Chains A and B, each alone.
Chain A
Amino acid sequence: MSFLQNFHLSPGQTIRSTRGFKWNTTANHADTPLSPQKDRPLSNVPINGNVENSWSTPTKTPRYAQQPPSGPDGLAALQESRTHQIPQLGSDGNVTDFNYTPSHQQPFLQPTEGTTVTSHQDLKHIVEMTLGSEGVLNQAVKLPRGENENEWLAVHCVDFYNQINMLYGTITEFCSPQSCPRMIATNEYEYLWAFQKGQPPVAVSAPKYVECLMRWCQDQFDDETIFPAKTSGQFPSNFISKYVVQMLRRLFRVYAHMYCHHFNEILELNLQTVLNTSFRHFCLFAQEFGLLKPADFGPLLELVIELRDR
C-alpha cells in the first residue's frame, strides 16, 4: 500500500501525447554532465528535437516532423545541440521541472522492446511507472492458454463497464442535461436511445443516455442466459457477435463523449492518465479479438490509430 502514497498522477505521466505531453526524462538528466547519455539509445531522445523548448508549455508537435538523427554523426549533432540549451535555474540552483514526479527519476521503460510482464517483481514497478505503457497491456489482453474465449470476453465486458462507470462518475458534475442536452461526440456524431423495442430511437441528454446504457449493461449482466453466474452455466451460442460486440460498441460512446466534450475538465482534474489507460486497454482488447470495426470508432478513429501504432 505504501507505494501508492508515492504515486502521483501528473501531466508528465500521460501515456504519450494526445495533447502533446511528452516524457521529460531527458530534460531531467540533460543538465547533469555525468548523466549516462551514452547508455541511452537514440529512441529515448525527444524526437521533435527542439531541446530548447523542453520546459515550455507542452504543445502539440507533429511527432515525426523531424527525424531523429541516426548514426554516430547524428549522436554528435544531438549532444552538441544539448550544449546549446539554457537550463532554467530555480532559486536553489536546480532545474525547475514543472512536470516533476518521483517516477521520472527511474529508468525509462523502452517502448520498442516492449515491457514483458514476467514476474511479480516487475509488477509494482510497472504499475507505478506506466499505467498502460507499451507492451504491458498488449500482453495482458491475450487469451490465457486453454481459456474459454467467451468467459475471457465476459470478464472484460464487466471490467470496462466498471471502468467507464468510475470515469464518468467523476465528471457527472460537469456533464448535466444543461451542459450536454444531446449525447454527441463532436458535432458529427449523435447517439440515440430506443426506450422500447421496435420504437424509433430518440435524442436524449448525455447523462440520460449514460444512465440508460449503464442500466442496460447491468440488466445483461444479471441475465443468467447471457452472462451465466453458475459454474455449470453456458454462454449463448452467439454470445460474442450479439452481446459482446453490441455492449462494447455502446460503451465506446461514453469514451467518445468524454474525450470530445469533457477532456479539458478531465485534464484539470488530472484524470487523463486513467482515461487514456482505460481507453487504450479497451482498444487493444477490441483489436485483439476483432470486436469493433473502424466505423465503430467514429469520432475517435484518429486517436485509436495513434494509440494502436505506438
Chain B
Amino acid sequence: PSHSPKKLPRGFHEKASSHKTQRLVSVCQMFFLDYYCDMFDYVISRRQRTRKVLEYLSQQKALKHIDNDILNSEWSGYVYKEHEILRKRRLKPKHKDFE
C-alpha cells in the first residue's frame, strides 16, 4: 500500500482497513445494489402495468364502443392508484431507520 502513487492523507490505510470503515463500505455497496434493483424493478413493473391498462382501454373502446368519458375516468383511476404507490415509496422506511 505504501507504494501507492496516489496522494492519500496520512493514516489513510489504517483508517481504511479498520473494521468500522470496511463495514460502512460494504453497507454502502449493498445499499446501492439494493436501491438500483428496487428502482429498476419499480420502473419496469410500472411500465408493464400501464401497458396492460392501455391495452385494456383500447380494446374496450374498439370492441364495445364504450363512452370516452368512462374510459377516461378508468384511466384517471388507474393513474391515481399509481400516484399513491409512488408517494408511499417516498415515505417508506429506509435503511437508515434501522441503523
Q: At the interface, yes or no: B43 with Cβ under 8 Å from chain A? A: yes
Size bracket of the A interface: 35 or more
User: Closest CB of chain B to A101's CB: distance in Å?
Assistant: 14
Q: Are A146 and B75 in contact (CB under 8 A)?
A: yes
CA distance A270 to B32 in the complex (A): 13
Give the chain B neighbours of A231 by CB distance below 8 A: 84, 87
Q: Are A146 and B6 in contact (CB under 8 A)?
A: no
Q: At the interface, yes or no: A277 with Cβ under 8 Å from chain B? A: yes
User: Closest CB of chain A to B31's CB: distance in Å?
Assistant: 5
Q: At the interface, yes or no: B56 with Cβ under 8 Å from chain A? A: no
User: Closest CB of chain A to B15's CB: distance in Å?
Assistant: 5
Q: At the interface, yes or no: A179 with Cβ under 8 Å from chain B? A: yes
User: Closest CB of chain B to A306's CB: distance in Å?
Assistant: 21
- Which single residue of chain A is at the shortest CB-CB distance from B76? A146
Q: Are B28 and A131 in contact (CB under 8 A)?
A: no
- Which single residue of chain B is at the shortest CB-CB distance from A229? B91
Q: Are B44 and A123 in contact (CB under 8 A)?
A: yes
Give the chain B neighbours of A139 by CB distance below 8 A: 43
CA distance A127 to B33 in the complex (A): 7
CA distance A197 to B75 in the complex (A): 45
Q: At the interface, yes or no: B20 with Cβ under 8 Å from chain A? A: yes
CA distance A140 to B90 in the complex (A): 16
Residues of B within 8 A of A (CB): 4, 6-9, 12, 15-16, 18, 20-21, 24-25, 27-33, 35-37, 39-41, 43-47, 50, 75, 78-79, 82-84, 86-87, 89-91, 94-96
Besides A148-B83, A265-B16, 6 other A-B contacts (C-beta < 8 A)? A120-B41, A145-B50, A163-B35, A167-B28, A170-B27, A264-B6
Top 7 nearest A-B pairs (CB, nearest first) are: A146-B79, A274-B32, A170-B24, A264-B6, A155-B90, A170-B28, A166-B31
